[in-house]
Structures are given as structure tokens and as C-alpha cells.
Structure 1
Amino acid sequence: MAMAQYWPILKARAGEFKALARLRDHEVSTLQPLFEVSPSDDGPTHAGLKFVRQLRESAPAGLTVGVDTTYARVNDDGRPLIMEIANDLALWGIPIAPVIRLQDPDEQFSACGEAARLHNETAIVRLGSITTDPDPVADSSRISRALSIAKINRERCHLVVDMADVSSERDVSRAEQIARNVLDSLGNQEWASIVVASGAMPSAITNVPRNEATPLARWDWELWKRLADRGPDFGDYAIAHPEMQGPVPRGPIPSLRYTTSDHWWIYRWARNETGGNDSFYDLCKTLVASDHWPAEGSNFSWGDSELARCARRQPGPGSATQWRAWGTSHHLAHVINELASSPAS
């Protein structure tokens, strides 16, 4: 069986783009990132321009990026933002696949179709949301209608079955049954690929103890393993919660979300007497001495090379954006390695 592709659903924030820019060639070939355009206090047009600039500065050659404008659907003058983004990125030769959500208005379906025709005629149909589960019965006719309006062939579309937040054994069991029902109903159709995605990172880690590593279960990975007999690709929300969060509070204490086989290890380190973020050096020293530090060490990913540097107390210790970038970089590399060695591959 071929190796499953990895579909991280990423927030369009600086940390994620920094990690994207540092992907290695073999990682690019197995990665299909889907970005959710983040809303902006300056309006959707600004959000779209910022997204284009960030993607242009960070996207590796040969990478096609899914673009979901759910959180900023139209620009300041009411036109579909996906078309503005598609037009701009076409000029730069950066391929995208627009994301169709079944709750979108007809105008959005049409715009996604136009955007797809600018970019390899490829699109992504994303089922489910933060508040709504995929429905294999109702979604079947909705998909046909949306693709008819968009004028896109089904075999040019990737299907993402998004189970959103799974944070317990009970959540996983429930999500597994729903996902199996969707795969039974829609999985025999001519899709370019089928992905099962979910996220298990909590919305906040402020209740995690300080100055020690705390494990949190990767229930999203557990869900995919239970469905691996059906052969879907794997999707998650990397090290973020599925819901679009507000701005990061200013000056958070040094922290890191570090991915291992079945857990994330959450590190939160209190500031020391010197103030600033110097205690991140102590955090990293603890990490590299742990049994979940990879055998490859700093060579495992760009993020790990930065964490190893900080463990040697080489300046500087970074800030919340860098910590998120380094944790995301490690996570992407870890999942790709995991999929390559998975029995389902």
C-alpha cells in the first residue's frame, strides 16, 4: 500500500509559515497543507494580501497549498476573497487548490471553480466544521450541487472528512463511526484522494503545570490509526486547536508543544530571575536530555536544530511566534516519518 499523504490544516500565522519555509525536499513531496486564511482587524482585503505575501515568501517550489477562506470569505468590496488570492498567486506561479465548504453560498462555489481553473483545475471539498459533523446522506446531494455550480469534475477534487475536535476516547469512538459511515457512502466515488482529519490539541495550555513536561494524548492520530484499514490520508491541525483562536496574549511564558508517537509533551517554564525568555534555554536543556528527544537530534528538523541551539544557551531564546514555528516544524517532520513507517503504508 502506498504511503498515506499528510494534510496538515494550518492557521495562516507567522509561525506556521516559518515552518513551511524550512521544509526539506522529501517532505514537500508527501505534504499537502491546507491553510485557513486568518481574519484581520484591518478587514478581509488586508487578510488576503497578507496571506499572499506570507505564502509567496515561504512556499517551497512544487508545493500545492489548499486555501480555505471560511473566516474571511469576501473582501472589503464584497467580492470573493478566494478569487483575489488565486489571481495574485497565479501571477507568482504558486499553485493552490481552493476549498469548497458545503455551507457556502452559491457565489462562493462559482468563485472556487474559477480559482481552480487558474490552478490545475484542482479543488478540495471539506466536510464538517467546528460545530457540524459530516452527514453522508445529506452531504452527497450537496456535493453534487456544489461541484455542478463550480463546474469542477469530482475526480479533480480531494475530499477532506473533517471531524474537528477529538479530545477523549469517547470522542474518537464517535468520530470513527461517523467517518466510517462517510467512507462507506462516499468513498467509492472517483475522488483524487480522501482524507480523514481531526485535531486534539486543547484550546489553551495555561492549566498545564510549569517546569515539567506533561503528556497529552494525540487522539487525532489514534482516530486515523483506527481508520487505516480504509486507507484514507491523514489530516490534523498540527499543534493548534481546530477552532480559529484570537491573537496570542502578549508576553506568554516560555512554552513548547513537542510531538512524539502518541503524545504531545507540553513544556511551560516559569520566567527566572533574569526575566525575559531566558528560561526557554532551561526548557530546551530538559527536552534534549529527555527520552523523547529524537535519535537524530538537531538533524531531525529545522525546529529541532533551533531547540538544540537553545539548549546550548546560544542566543536568542525566541518568542511565542518562534516557539510555535519550531514546534510546528518538528511536528510536520515527525508525522511524515510516522506515516512512512506506519503499517498502513
Structure 2
Amino acid sequence: MRDVQGAAMARYWPVLKAREGEFKALGRLQDRDVSRIHPLFEVNPSNDGPTKAGLNFVRKVREAAPAGLTFGVDTTYARVNDNGEPLIKEIANDLAQWGVPIAPVIHLHDPDEQLSACGEAARLHNETAIVRLGSLTTDPDPVADAPRIARALSIAKISVGRCHLVVDMGEVASDRDVSRTELVVRNVLDSLGDQGWASIVVASGAMPSAISTLPRNEATPLPRWDWKLWKRLADLSPDFGDYAIAHPAMPGAGARGPLPSLRYTASDNWWIYRWARNQTGGNDSFYDLCQALVSSDHWPTESSEFSWGDSELARCARRQPGPGGATQWRAWGTSHHLAHVMGELANPHAS
């Protein structure tokens, strides 16, 4: 890990669902931000089967990937293709042909065939992999995980020095969660943090699974407990990971025609905007939502220049067509979030 005084700026590792909104946001990154962000994508399952899920993922990456950006790829939710073979190998082969670098994600409980496939995928792409500890339901366990790490990397034929360690604590939803999780992370890093990893990341997520119970026609603050956790660990200087503006769990089918809404990131909170539809129907009340946003004290001083997402929100505040839908709102909110977090990491003492 870096020196506590911070000779190097912490890097950002957002864990993203491989959906259109997230890819739209990533494809609009400013050039200066490409070297500061390391997105880790979870491949979404598909109703058409895992092979189609892999093809859809490759297509989205090819269309959105900024030059020079390496993607972490986690196939936990779509592990094998329609023929029962590891999907990560198929994705790695396809993206290698297009010159898009990836880093496969290894879980310690993966079957041996999956571990071996991750090793093959890594050797196609800079010989780099990501070891991801923890799950949505289980904390990392340094005593049990140490031999599992050695075994997994032996099967994958990858050295520790070529691996990034992601300590994923899943959902943190309260100050009590933050305190408990901090102790777990410190224990993990005390035991496993000095093995020569390429980097160490602490990841967690604090966005609730649904916002449908929140008030309408006003902005509601929700604490960014994931950011608070990372700040509590500043003396260890890990890189920062979160789930952007999404809940850590893979979502099911969303509600059809959701109310105009926006998840907008500020220093310690998200501001959740939900606006009732007006008499004209449709999504025109999103214009009113954006007018409230740009008049708020959490609208950035850079205004529309802050990110691509903010430029779109400023456009909507001027009532210029069109107001978008759920995919666009997710894309614009994610774009702002990515820019906001990278700004925080560049100047952590200001937040």
C-alpha cells in the first residue's frame, strides 16, 4: 500500500453492472480521467442464456471503452456459456481480438476450471487479474482465505504481484455497519495486505435497493456510508471502490415507467430526486426536477462543465428536449458520480 502521507493519489474502482446506463457514462469519460479509474464490471445474466450475455457484454465494451482503459470482468452471475465452458475465456478471446484489455476476477470459491480459465484470460491481457474477497452475504476471513488465495493463484498460474486485491464488504447501511466493517477490513489487511499485491482496494456499497418509498417533489439526502468507511481507513491508504449509484446486488427486472428520478452525488450524501408526473404525462416533470437541482447548493460550481451527465442535466433544466428515461437518468447520475468521486480522491482533505 502507499505511504500514509499519500505519495500517490488513491485510484477509483467502481463495481458496475453491465447495463446501458453505466456504459453510456463510462464512454463519456474525459481523457484525463482514464488513468485514474479501474471499472470492474459484473456481467449481467440474460434471459437468452449466458452466451448471449457474453456477446452483449463484449458489444457494449467495444462501443464504450475509452482507449487505454482496462476493465475488470466478473462472470459470477453468468459463469459458463451455453456449452458449459467458462464464459470469461470467451469474453477474453473476443476482446483480445479488438485490443480491449481486461483483468479477470477470481473468487476463492470458484471451481478449478473457472480458476484455470481466469489464468488463461489474464495471460491474454497483460497477465493481470483481480482477486475479490467477500460476497453479498459473507465477510472476508483472513485465516481461511490465506490458503485459498495460494491455491487459487496456483491453479490460475498467476503471481500475487500481478493481482489486485479487492476487499469487498458488500452493503454498508448505517454508522454501525461502518464501525463493524472497519474492524473486519483492518483484520484482513493486517493479515493479507503485505503479500506484494499490485494494489489493494476496499469496496462497499450504500445505495438502498429501492428508492420508491422516498418523498416526491423534493430532494432527500441519503448518507454515503461507503465513502465514510473508506475515509475511516485512510491511514491504510487503500484504493477506493464502490457500487456507484446502485445497490450491490444484481437487480431484477425494473419497474416499467418509473417516476422521473435522479441519484445525485454530493460530498457526504446522495440527493435522491423523485418527481411526480404532471398533467401532460410522460417524463416532462424531469425538467422541473433538473431546475430544482441546478438551484440547489449541491449543484457544482463548474455547472455543466463538471461532467457529461451534468451537461445533460443542465440542458434539461433549460427545458431543451428530451427528458430521457430510466436508462438516461442512470447514465447521467453515474457520469456525475464518477467525476465527483475522482475529484474527491484527487483532493481527499477537502471532502
Q: TM-score, with normalisation over the residues of structure 1?
A: 0.99
Name the residue aligned to 2:339. 333
Shift of 1:253: 0.5
Task: Measure, in 2, the Cα distance between the counterparts of 1:207 and 1:338.
Answer: 29
| Residue of structure 1 aligned with 2:238, choices 232, 237, 243 | 232
Name the residue aligned to 1:180. 186
Alignment of 1:97-108 (within 5 A): 97-108=103-114
Name the residue aligned to 2:89. 83
Task: Measure, in 1, the Cα distance between the counterparts of 2:313 and 2:283.
Answer: 14
Do 1:229 and 1:344's aligned partners in 2 also have CA atoms closer than 8 Å? no
Task: Measure, in 2, the Cα distance between the counterparts of 1:233 and 1:202.
Answer: 23
Alignment of 1:161-172 (within 5 A): 161-172=167-178
Q: Is 2:254 the counterpart of 1:252? A: no
Task: Measure, in 2, the Cα distance between the counterparts of 1:324 and 1:57.
Answer: 18
Shift of 1:248: 1.8
Shift of 1:344: 10
Name the residue aligned to 2:268. 262
Task: Measure, in 2, the Cα distance between the counterparts of 1:327 and 1:20.
Answer: 12
Task: Measure, in 2, the Cα distance between the counterparts of 1:217 and 1:13.
Answer: 25
Secondary structure in structure 1 of the residue aligned to 2:213? coil
Name the residue aligned to 2:299. 293
| Residue of structure 1 aligned with 2:315, choices 281, 291, 309 | 309
Task: Measure, in 2, the Cα distance between the counterparts of 1:288 and 1:141.
Answer: 52
Change (3 A) 1:328 1:126: same
Q: Is 2:36 the counterpart of 1:30? A: yes
Task: Measure, in 1, the Cα distance between the counterparts of 2:150 and 2:70.
Answer: 24
Do 1:231 and 1:344's aligned partners in 2 also have CA atoms closer than 8 Å? no
Do 2:344 and 2:350's aligned partners in 1 also have CA atoms closer than 8 Å? no
Task: Measure, in 2, the Cα distance between the counterparts of 1:22 and 1:160.
Answer: 25
Secondary structure in structure 2 of the residue aligned to 1:29? helix
Name the residue aligned to 1:273. 279
Alignment of 1:49-60 (within 5 A): 49-60=55-66
Task: Measure, in 2, the Cα distance between the counterparts of 1:205 and 1:4.
Answer: 30
Shift of 1:249: 1.3
- Give the % identical residues: 79
Shift of 1:74: 0.1
Task: Measure, in 2, the Cα distance between the counterparts of 1:322 and 1:105.
Answer: 37
Do 1:228 and 1:344's aligned partners in 2 also have CA atoms closer than 8 Å? no
* CA displacement 1:5-25 (0-9 Å, x = unmatched): 000000000000000100001
Name the residue aligned to 1:62. 68
Name the residue aligned to 2:100. 94
Shift of 1:274: 0.3
Task: Measure, in 1, the Cα distance between the counterparts of 2:41 and 2:148.
Answer: 23
Do 1:160 and 1:196's aligned partners in 2 also have CA atoms closer than 8 Å? yes
Q: Which runs of 5 or more residues in structure 1 are unaligned?
A: none
Shift of 1:343: 3.5
Q: Is 2:126 the counterpart of 1:117? A: no
Do 1:285 and 1:312's aligned partners in 2 also have CA atoms closer than 8 Å? yes
Q: Is 2:329 the counterpart of 1:319? A: no
Name the residue aligned to 2:3. none
Q: Which runs of 5 or more residues in structure 2 are unaligned?
A: 1-5
Change (3 A) 1:199 1:56: same
Q: 1:252 corresponds to which letter in structure 2?
A: P
Do 2:34 and 2:68's aligned partners in 1 also have CA atoms closer than 8 Å? yes
Secondary structure in structure 1 of the residue aligned to 2:233? helix
Q: 2:296 corresponds to which letter in structure 1?
A: S
Secondary structure in structure 1 of the residue aligned to 2:166? strand
Shift of 1:336: 0.1
Task: Measure, in 2, the Cα distance between the counterparts of 1:42 and 1:229.
Answer: 46
* CA displacement 1:107-132 (0-9 Å, x = unmatched): 10000000000000000000000011
Q: How many residues align?
A: 345
Q: 2:317 corresponds to which letter in structure 1?
A: A
Do 1:3 and 1:344's aligned partners in 2 also have CA atoms closer than 8 Å? no
RMSD between superposed Cα atoms in Å: 0.9
Task: Measure, in 2, the Cα distance between the counterparts of 1:115 and 1:247.
Answer: 31
